[in-house]
Amino acid sequence: MRTDRGGLPVISVRGVVRRFDPASPPAVDRLSLDVAQGEILTLLGPSGSGKTTVLRLVAGFERPDEGEVWIAGRCVAGNGVWVPPEARGVGMVFQDYALFPHLTVEENVAFGLHCVQRIQRPRRIREALELVGMTAFAGRYPHELSGGQQQRVALARALAPQPFAVLLDEPFSNLDADLRAQLREEVRGILKHTGTSAIFVTHDQHEALLLGDRVGVLREGRLEQVDVPERIFHAPRTRFVARFFGRADFLPARVTPQGVQTEVGLLPQRPPLGNGADVEVLVRPDDVAIAPAADGAGVVVRRLFQGGTVLYCVELPSGRRVHSLQPHTVRLEPGARVAVRLDPGHALTCFHDGQAVGTAGETASEASALAGA
C-alpha cells in the first residue's frame, strides 16, 4: 500500500533462530525469506513446523535468538535492535479474528487510526469497510456478525492504517468450506487491489497454491522450498514437499543410457547421474495413463469417484500401487486388468536420497513463463 522502494523486499527475515526450550530443537531454525512489494507469500507446513512462529517473529511478538528481521528497509529485530509490535507498521489478521467485543465494527477499524488526523478518520474507515463490503454493518458489534463477516472486519481493521505488510494467521480455518473458498478469492482480490504485501500462513495446500504468488514450505522450523506454486507442485525439491502437495506416488527406477527405466516403461529423460543409479520417480495421478487390457500388468484395486473425475488405484506386479486420474466417462471396476503407461507430457522429477535431481531447468522455464503471465 505504501510507495514502491525500488524492488527492495518489504519484509526480510535473515537467518532467524527462535528457540523456546533449550532442550528441544528450535521452533525456527536459521530461516531466511524475503517478501517483495505487493507480493503474497503463503507459508505452509504441518502443525508444529513453526509457521505461526515466523509470523509472530515478523510482527514482534517473539524475539529472535539469532538473526535479523527487516521491515521496509529498517532493521526491527536483531543486532541489539528491538522495535515493539506497535511501531513496526505491520497489520495482522488472526485466526480467531480478535475483534474487540466492546467496540462496534466502525470503532474496531478506527482503533488503528489513532495517529491519523481526526478529520481524515471517517473517510479512512469508510474506505476500509467499502473494501471488504461491510459498510452496512458499521454500527454492529462483533458478536452480531457471522464468522465470515467478522473475518472481513478483521481484514479491514488490519488494512486501515495502511501497513507495510499484512500478516494473516490461518484466517479462514474457522469457516466452512464454501465460505472459505469465497473469502479466499475476496482476500486475494483485496490484497492485490491495494498492492499490499502479505504473508499468509495456512495448513491447507490448496489455499497455499491458490493464494500465494510464492509458496514457502516449512518443516521443523526450516524452509524446505520457496517457489512459485507451479514449481512447488511440479518440481518439488524434496520428497517431503512432493508428498505435501497432492497425491504423490514414488516409483523406484534405474538410470540407463536410454533414459529412466521404471516398472511401467522407459522415461526418455536423463538425470545427471551415472548409469545404474537408483532413483525414485515422482508420479502424479495425471501422469499415469491406464487402458483396459486383458493381458495388462495392472489390476484396479480401488475406484474413488470425485465427481467430474475418477481416481483409480492400480496395483502393479511388484505389489506397488500407483494412482491414475481419469475422466468420469472411463468406467472400470475393481479387479479389472489394465495396461499402465507413464504419459506425463513433461519430465518427471527424480529423487536420489530424498533430494530432487535434474529436470529442474526445464520445468523452471515453464513455471516462470506461467508466473510472468
Report d(CA 193, CA 183) in Å as an integer. Answer: 15
Binding mask 224-263 for another protein (x = CB under 8 A): ----------------------------------------
Contact residue for another protein among 28, 168, 226, 242 (CB under 8 A): 28
- Under rule CB under 8 A, residue 158 binds another protein: yes
Amino acid making up residue 83: V
Contact residue for another protein among 9, 50, 148, 212 (CB under 8 A): 50
Q: 45 vs 236, which CB is nearer to another protein?
A: 45
- Under rule CB under 8 A, residue 358 binds another protein: no
Q: Which residues of 209-229 are buried (b: 16+ CB within 10 A; e: fewer)?
A: bebbbbbbbbbbbbbbbbbbb
Q: 116 vs 289, which CB is nearer to another protein?
A: 116
Contact residue for another protein among 203, 320, 321, 352 (CB under 8 A): 203
For 259, other C-beta atoms within 10 Å of its C-beta total 15
Q: Can you give 213-264 as a three-state secondary structure string?
A: CEEEEEECCEEEEEECHHHHHHCCCEHHHHHHCCCCEEEEEEEECCEEEECC
- Answer for the pair 53, 18: CB distance below 8 angstroms, yes or no: yes
Q: 91 vs 285, which CB is nearer to another protein?
A: 91
Candidate ranges 109-117, 192-200, 261-269, 342-350; the one touching another protein (CB under 8 A):
109-117
- Answer for the pair 183, 148: CB distance below 8 angstroms, yes or no: yes
Q: According to CB under 8 A, which residues from 55 to 84 bind another protein?
A: 56, 59-62, 84
- Under rule CB under 8 A, residue 42 binds another protein: no
Tell me, what DSSP letter sits at residue 143? Answer: G
Amino acid making up residue 55: L
Contact residue for another protein among 157, 214, 234, 239 (CB under 8 A): 157
Contact residue for another protein among 3, 6, 7, 47 (CB under 8 A): 47
Candidate ranges 17-25, 208-216, 230-238, 331-339; the one touching another protein (CB under 8 A):
17-25
Report, in Å, the least distance between residue 107 CB and another protein. 10
Report d(CA 315, CA 323) in Å as an integer. Answer: 9
Query: Phi and psi for 120 in degrees, rounded to 5?
Result: -90, -15
- Under rule CB under 8 A, residue 143 binds another protein: yes
Report, in Å, the least distance between residue 173 CB and another protein. 9
- Answer for the pair 30, 43: CB distance below 8 angstroms, yes or no: no
Q: According to CB under 8 A, which residues from 167 to 186 bind another protein?
A: 167, 169-170
Q: 103 vs 316, which CB is nearer to another protein?
A: 103
Take residue 219 and report the three cell numbers written for it: 518443516
DSSP 44-62: E--TTSSHHHHHHHHHTSS
- Under rule CB under 8 A, residue 98 binds another protein: yes
Report d(CA 161, CA 56) in Å as an integer. Answer: 19
Starting at the edge strand found earlier in the chain, the sheet holding 28-35 runs 28-35, 11-18, 66-71, 74-78, 81-82
- Under rule CB under 8 A, residue 21 binds another protein: yes
Contact residue for another protein among 4, 32, 48, 130 (CB under 8 A): 48
Q: How many residues bind another protein (CB under 8 A)?
A: 55
- Under rule CB under 8 A, residue 148 binds another protein: no
Residues that bind another protein (CB under 8 A): 18-21, 24, 26-28, 45, 47-53, 56, 59-62, 84-92, 94-96, 98-102, 111-112, 114-115, 141-143, 157-158, 161, 163, 167, 169-170, 201, 203, 221
